[in-house]
C-alpha cells in the first residue's frame, strides 16, 4: 500500500511517499510524479517514510526522472530510508538520479 501527499516548499513541489512502492502501487507513483513534473519546474520525491521499493517502484522513479530531463525540470529524491538508499546504490541509480538528504533550496 502506498500513500502520496503533495505540497509546495521553497519553490519545490514535494511528493511525499509513505508505505511500499511495488508492483501494485508503481503506476500510482508514476502518475503522481509525472503529473507533478508537468505542472512544476522543480519536483522533489520525499522517501523518508518509504519502507520498501521494488524494481517496479524504481521504474516509476526512472520514468519520472526522464520526464523531468525532457522538460528540463529539477528532480531529486530526498531523505531515502537506509533500506531504500541501498536499493538505489545496488541498482546504480544514484549515478543518474540526484539523491539528497534534505530538500534543496
Residue range 48-102, pLDDT digits in tens: 999 999 999 999 999 999 999 999 999 999 999 999 999 999 999 989 999 999 8
Q: Which residue, chain included where needed, has cell 500500500?
A: 1
φ, ψ of residue 91 in degrees (nearest 5):
-80, -15
Residue in 6, 9, 67 with CA at minimum distance from that of residue 38: 67
Write down the CATH number for the domain with range 2-100.
Answer: 3.30.750.24
Sequence-distant (6+) residues with CB within 8 A of 87 are: 53, 58
What's the length of the chain? 105
Alpha-carbon distances, residue 20 vs 23, 59, 83, 84, 102 (angstroms): 9, 14, 12, 10, 21
Query: What are the sequence ranges of the domains in the chain?
Result: 2-100
pTM of the model: 0.93
Amino acid at each position: 500500500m502506498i500513500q502520496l501527499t503533495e505540497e509546495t516548499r521553497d519553490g519545490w513541489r514535494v511528493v511525499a511517499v509513505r508505505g511500499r512502492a511495488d508492483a501494485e502501487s508503481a503506476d500510482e507513483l508514476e502518475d503522481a510524479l509525472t503529473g507533478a513534473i508537468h505542472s512544476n519546474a522543480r519536483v522533489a520525491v520525499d522517501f523518508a517514510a518509504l519502507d520498501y521499493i521494488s524494481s517496479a517502484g524504481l521504474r516509476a522513479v526512472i520514468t519520472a526522472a526522464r520526464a523531468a530531463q525532457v522538460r528540463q525540470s529539477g528532480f531529486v529524491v530526498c531523505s531515502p530510508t537506509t533500506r531504500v538508499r541501498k536499493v538505489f546504490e545496488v541498482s546504480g541509480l544514484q549515478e543518474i538520479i540526484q539523491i539528497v538528504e534534505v530538500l534543496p533550496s
